[in-house]
Chain A
């Protein structure tokens, strides 16, 4: 029987103290969810991605389900900056949980000016979505390579004093290099990761299941892949990694933290169980009590790898 009665769930993420490490993933959270859960219980609140230009989003259908997963091609519908400042921002003023605003723009300069405009009272941090697979041609995004990631992060860093989180894409073979570039250019944390570029075809019609043809895969099915990315990124950088990919239970969150995450974002699970984030917070605390872990931060990077367990990756580079 555990002697531990209370667990310190607080975490520090790039200059921001959070009461616990659980927050929504951008795009899966909006004001209306407050009818189901108490926002004050969340570690942070994360908005849908805001763009400067008005965007309608992609043609329908915008989602298709697959076993244990969802492919979406919503296409970031956005009502622009003014609508966000005057209509959306006031909705969050009543909550204690810090508000993280997700932004996107087609250029590094666009990102920077948008970040500057979003650096207003009520906004606690900026999450730069440099990784959406749905708005650039064929899934190309800044975070596919280190160099454009460094450029856009540096511009963002100059534009805002707020904590800067950079959301990375799993659709690159160079995730640790991209993460290092973001860190070197001044990011306070990275979010690992956005959705996996994917596709589905309807066998009745022979047509793609999505209006946008391709979309981003999310949900429990992608967890082992993103877990590996989190593990690799956490080893590569010193700033916190916020894990995002198929988390639907407290056990998923613990696994990500053991792999190196300092906090977690929950997205698709909310579509199935709208109170999933609350259950995860309670489950995290129960896990720590059970295992006599007084501070949740002790989980971060806690995966035990004996020397003999080190993966032999020589076969990946047969030429050397």
Chain B
């Protein structure tokens, strides 16, 4: 553990030093964290957490988490110098096509953390990024500075400013498409916003990827607890979020 600090009223930023395999984690992949036991609670399973940042050179991995249950209350007790058991990188992450010039990332909630490492991956490939970050209030937005530091354009939409609704986000997205600045959608954390992107992707023939969330147990495709429904060529198919995902084709995802 290198750091475990609050970044705003809801989210904390966890930085750990790790081995080469872990530090090679790719955007959209996740780790299974064995959380320490907080007072009076006994989390039993590991907790899945998407990668917020991975630095192969410094052998570091970063997570962004919100304290919501027994596991994250345990994580909150960790201090620099403590040791935490993490397993990963796991799952299928985002992929970037070499011929894309500009992509759009649309996230809300924990999805803001999941999408964040795309900024660096896109920058390295010379792909421009517009990040549409949604939250209840402006001060609860995370990842905005990270996106900006990698050269991304950031659009913040919030409930308190009445800019986070699907209709407004759709207008923003149509504007980007009209400017030729949306070769693909990347999204996580809002099924309402996912639906908007699915409609636009269909209308304009655009590609897209979505990182899905689901309660997990093993994280290795063994237990089939994290299945979700997907629309694969018109048939409803179960897929394991931990194993076939967590990143899926946008058009196959169901809310």
A70-129 with Cβ < 8 A to chain B: 70, 72, 74, 77
Given A65-B45, A70-B45, A36:B220 Cβ within 8 A: yes
Expressed in whole angstroms, the minimum distance between the Cβ of A91 and any Cβ of chain B is 12
The answer on a CB contact under 8 Å between A271 and B238 is no
**Docked complex Cα distance between A271 and B219 (Å):** 8
A29 to B223 Cα, complex, angstroms? 8
Contact across chains for B221 and A61 when beta carbons are under 8 A apart: no
A67 at the interface (CB under 8 A from B): yes
Per-position 1/0 for A45-75, Cβ under 8 A of B: 0001000000011001111011111101010
Chain B 182-229 residues near chain A, CB threshold 8 A: 214-215, 217-225, 227
Asked if A245 is at the interface of the complex by the 8 Å CB criterion, the answer is: no
Q: Let me know if B220 and A63 touch, CB within 8 A.
A: no
CA distance A214 to B42 in the complex (A): 21
The answer on a CB contact under 8 Å between B44 and A33 is no
Contacts A70-B45, A77-B227 known; A33 to B215 CB distance under 8 Å?
no
A4 → B minimal CB distance (Å): 32
The answer to whether B218 and A271 touch across the interface, beta carbons within 8 angstroms, is: yes
By beta carbon, the residue of chain B nearest A66 is B44
- A247: min CB distance to chain B, Å: 15
Whether B223 pairs with A57 at a CB distance below 8 angstroms is no
- Interface assignment of A283: CB less than 8 Å from any CB of chain B: no
Residues in A whose Cβ lies below 8 Å from that of B87: 274
Report the separation of the CA atoms of residues A174 and B221 in the bound assembly, to the nearest whole angstrom.
35
B151 at the interface (CB under 8 A from A): no
Asked if B42 contacts A33 (CB within 8 A), the reply is: no
Q: Is the CB of B223 within 8 A of A74?
A: yes
Q: Is B34 an interface position by the 8 A CB rule? A: yes
Residue-wise, chain A 27-41 has the 8 Å CB interface mask toward B (1 for contact) of: 111101101100000
Give the B-binding residues of A (Cβ under 8 A). 27-30, 32-33, 35-36, 48, 56-57, 60-63, 65-70, 72, 74, 77, 219, 270-272, 274
Q: Are B223 and A27 touching (Cβ within 8 A)?
A: yes
**B residues in contact with A35, CB < 8 Å:** 220
A68 in complex: contacting residue of B42, B219, B225, B238, CB < 8 Å: B42
Which residues of B (20-72) have their CB < 8 Å from a CB of A? Answer: 34, 42-46
The answer to whether A33 and B238 have CB atoms under 8 Å apart is no
Q: What is the predominant secondary structure among interface residues of chain B facing chain A?
A: loop
Distance to closest chain A CB from B54 (angstroms): 18
- Bound-complex Cα distance A274 to B85 (A): 12
Q: How far is the CA of A272 from the CA of B219 in the complex (A)?
A: 9
Chain B residues positioned under 8 Å from A77 (CB to CB): 224, 227, 238
Q: With the chains together, A278 CA to B16 CA distance in Å?
A: 26
A216 to chain B, nearest CB (A): 12
Question: Chain B: interface residue count, which band?
Answer: 20 to 34
Shortest A246–chain B CB gap in Å is: 12
Residue from A28, A57, A65, A219 within 8 A of B218 (CB atoms): A28
Closest 3 CB pairs of A and B: A65-B44, A67-B42, A32-B221
Query: Can you list 28 A-B contacts (CB < 8 A)?
Result: A27-B222, A30-B221, A32-B221, A32-B243, A35-B220, A36-B220, A48-B224, A56-B238, A57-B227, A60-B215, A62-B225, A63-B215, A63-B217, A65-B43, A65-B45, A67-B42, A68-B42, A70-B45, A72-B217, A77-B227, A77-B238, A270-B222, A271-B45, A271-B217, A272-B34, A272-B45, A274-B87, A274-B218
Residues of B within 8 Å of A36, CB to CB, are 220
A29 proximity list for chain B (CB < 8 A): 222
**Which residues does chain B contribute within 8 Å of A69, judged by CB atoms?**
44
- Closest-CB distance, A64 to chain B (whole angstroms): 9
Contacts of A70 in B (CB 8 A): 44-45, 217
Measured between beta carbons, the chain A residues less than 8 angstroms from B238 are: 56-57, 77
The residue on B at minimum CB distance from A219 is: B44
Chain B: minimal CB distance from A214 (Å): 16
- Whole-angstrom CA separation of A149 from B214 in the bound complex: 38
Contacts of A219 in B (CB 8 A): 44
A271:B223 contact, CB within 8 angstroms: yes
Question: In the complex, what residues of B have CB within 8 A of residue A62's CB?
Answer: 224-225, 227
Closest-by-CB residue of A relative to B220 is A32
- Which residues does chain A contribute within 8 Å of B44, judged by CB atoms? 65-70, 219, 272
Residues of A within 8 A of B45 (CB): 63, 65, 70, 271-272
Complex Cα gap A74–B238 (Å): 13
Given contacts A56-B238, A57-B238, A272-B45, contact A72 B225 (CB under 8 A): yes
What residues of B have a CB within 8 angstroms of the CB of A56 in the complex?
Answer: 238
- Using A60-B227, A65-B44 as known contacts, say yes or no to A271 and B222 having CB atoms under 8 A apart: yes
Who on chain A is nearest to B228 by CB? Answer: A60
Assess the A270–B227 pair: CB atoms within 8 A.
Answer: no
Closest CB in chain B relative to A23 CB, distance in Å? 14
- From known contacts A67-B42, A68-B44, infer whether A74 and B224 are also in contact, taking CB-CB under 8 Å: yes
Q: Which of A36, A77, A272 has the most CB of B within 10 A?
A: A272
B42: which A residues are within 8 A, CB to CB?
67-68
The 8 Å CB contact of A272, one of B46, B224, B243, is: B46
Task: Give Cα distance in the complex from A67 to B223, angstroms.
Answer: 19
Let me know if B220 and A274 touch, CB within 8 A.
yes
- A28 B34 Cβ-Cβ under 8 A: no
